[in-house]
Amino acid sequence: MRILVITQKIDEEDDILGFFSGWVKALSAEADFVDVICLAKGKFDLPANVRVRSLGKEKSNSKFIRAIKFFIYSLGSLIKADGVFVHMAPEYVRAIHPVNFFLKKPVVMWYAHIKVSNAAKWAIDHVDFILTPSKESFEYDSDKVISTGHGINTDLFSPQVDVVTKPLSLLSFSRISKVKRIEILIEATRILVHEKNIKNLIVDIYGKPARLEDDEYLMSLKKLVVEKKVEQNVFWKGGIANKDAPKIYANHQIFVRLQGGGGFGKTELEAMAVGVPAILPTTVYKDDLKDFVSDLYFKEDDALMLSSCVERVLGWTDEHKEKYVTNSVNLVSQKHNVKNVAHTVISLLEKASRKATM
């Protein structure tokens, strides 16, 4: 099968979208040829049966030039393609529709957002299937919606035996944004350091702002760190490439997610694939990690409860930690593997193709 893939960026060094190069590689193992059109591209190393063409945002091409290039690239590719996979870009479903209305190539879209935009609603009506990590990640009732898991590259994200874990270390890994509730981690750090007397606690916060309001939020967080007197414990690390993330996870004892709602997020699954305990404000994992729920769950915005979870996990025995590693690694490998997502994409495109010819 020959497929057209449309996405925002191909760049393995990007701190947000770097993971998608691994998705393309997984798709290339299932398809004869993968033709990628992206808004921007950077560094990547992909198999010979993959072609990547950028619309030129990285070169500051105007929107008009990008639109012309998209029409030329997509028309040529659609004619030869057996199907289309659109990743988190419902506006491109609309963009290819005038041509695909006549060519009738099957389209599968990946979408993982609780709030469904108008563009996404339109796209849903014009694609054959919508893939999403879980029903909690996409609150939209349609027979087209299929849950696949998050698509973690388990060849990359796996236990790192050569990495030394820093003692008494916590990790936060997310975009710096108010919705991420990072202030809760700072307050939990204050409790752990000044009330529970864990003076040598290390809290590394990875991520960077994306918008002006995010810059302002970061400034407020830095002031909060000073106010809470945890300047010697909290460290701002900025963004890092996805390919470098496994060693960062493995370098820490605990991963913490602060934002509640929805199902699993990508970052905690990456942490779990590496074997790092992930403390979350959701019990979405309760059936798979039932022996660990009491230590890994805190109520959203409850810094005291979070600090208690951290204290308990820091006290795990080696035997209990090893049991967690086995369970968490198996969970990600079996239910959130990128190879499963790639296989599902190809299978659904083949299914839609057969249906179209009946």
Domain ranges of the chain: 2-151+337-357, 169-335
User: Scanning the structure block, which residue is given the tokens 């990128």?
Assistant: 338
User: Stretch 248-276: mean pLDDT, rounded?
Assistant: 93
The mean pLDDT of the chain is 94
Longest dimension (CA), the chain: 70
Q: What is the pLDDT of residue 358?
A: 58
Contacts 24+ apart (CB under 8 A), 254-257: 254/169, 254/170, 254/171, 254/278, 254/279, 254/310, 254/313, 254/314, 255/170, 255/171, 255/172, 255/173, 255/279, 256/170, 256/171, 256/172, 256/185, 256/280, 256/306, 256/310, 257/172, 257/174, 257/281
What's the pLDDT band for 327 if we cut at 50, 70, 90? very high
Is the separation of the CB atoms in 13 and 243 below 8 Å?
Answer: yes
What's the pLDDT band for 286 if we cut at 50, 70, 90? confident
Cα distances (angstroms) measured from residue 175 to each of 179, 239, 242, 272: 9, 8, 13, 19
Q: What is the pLDDT of residue 135?
A: 73
Give me the CATH code for the 2-151+337-357 domain, please: 3.40.50.2000
Alpha-carbon gap, residue 286 to 72, rounded angstroms: 49
CATH level 3 topology of 169-335:
Rossmann fold (3.40.50)
Q: What is the pLDDT of residue 356?
A: 66
| Burial of 234 per CB tally in 10 Å (0-12, 13-18, 19+) | buried
Window from 9-13, 139-143, 151-155 with minimum mean pLDDT: 139-143
Q: What is the pLDDT of residue 284?
A: 83
What's the token pair of residue 127?
A: 């694609």
| Burial of 238 per CB tally in 10 Å (0-12, 13-18, 19+) | exposed
Is the separation of the CB atoms in 94 and 101 below 8 Å?
Answer: no
pLDDT surpassing 70 at residue 44: yes
Window from 81-85, 121-125, 180-184 with minimum mean pLDDT: 121-125
Residues forming a β-bridge with 297: 280
User: Stretch 259-269: mean pLDDT, rounded?
Assistant: 85
Calculate what percentage of the chain has a pLDDT beyond 90.
84
pLDDT surpassing 70 at residue 223: yes
User: Stretch 124-150: mean pLDDT, rounded?
Assistant: 85
Strand order in the sheet with 234-238: 234-238, 202-206, 169-173, 254-256, 278-279
Q: What is the pLDDT of residue 141?
A: 74
Q: Do domains 2-151+337-357 and 169-335 have the same CATH topology?
A: yes
User: Stretch 266-277: mean pLDDT, rounded?
Assistant: 96
Return the number of other C-beta atoms located less than 10 Å from residue 46's C-beta: 18
Q: What Rg do the C-alpha atoms of the chain give, in angstroms?
A: 22
Alpha-carbon gap, residue 213 to 210, rounded angstroms: 8
pLDDT surpassing 70 at residue 262: no
Return the number of other C-beta atoms located less than 10 Å from residue 155's C-beta: 12
What's the pLDDT band for 137 if we cut at 50, 70, 90? low
Return the number of other C-beta atoms located less than 10 Å from residue 322's C-beta: 12
Question: What's the one-letter identity of residue 33?
Answer: F
Alpha-carbon gap, residue 336 to 161, rounded angstroms: 22
Question: How far out from the chain centre does Cα 281 lie?
Answer: 17
What's the pLDDT band for 42 if we cut at 50, 70, 90? very high
Q: What is the pLDDT of residue 231?
A: 97
Question: What's the one-letter identity of residue 227?
Answer: E
Higher pLDDT: 74 or 116? It is 74
Return the number of other C-beta atoms located less than 10 Å from residue 174's C-beta: 20
pLDDT surpassing 90 at residue 143: no
What's the pLDDT band for 263 if we cut at 50, 70, 90? confident
Alpha-carbon gap, residue 12 to 43, rounded angstroms: 6
What's the pLDDT band for 357 if we cut at 50, 70, 90? low
Residues forming a β-bridge with 204: 171, 235
Q: What is the pLDDT of residue 267?
A: 94
Q: What is the pLDDT of residue 175?
A: 92
Q: What is the pTM assigned to this prediction?
A: 0.92
User: Stretch 68-79: mean pLDDT, rounded?
Assistant: 96
User: Stretch 61-82: mean pLDDT, rounded?
Assistant: 96
Q: What is the pLDDT of residue 261?
A: 74
DSSP 106-152: -EEEE---SS--HHHHHHHHHSSEEEES-GGG-----TTEEE----B
What's the token pair of residue 294?
A: 């009491």
What's the pLDDT band for 204 if we cut at 50, 70, 90? very high
Q: What is the pLDDT of residue 232?
A: 98
User: Stretch 191-219: mean pLDDT, rounded?
Assistant: 96
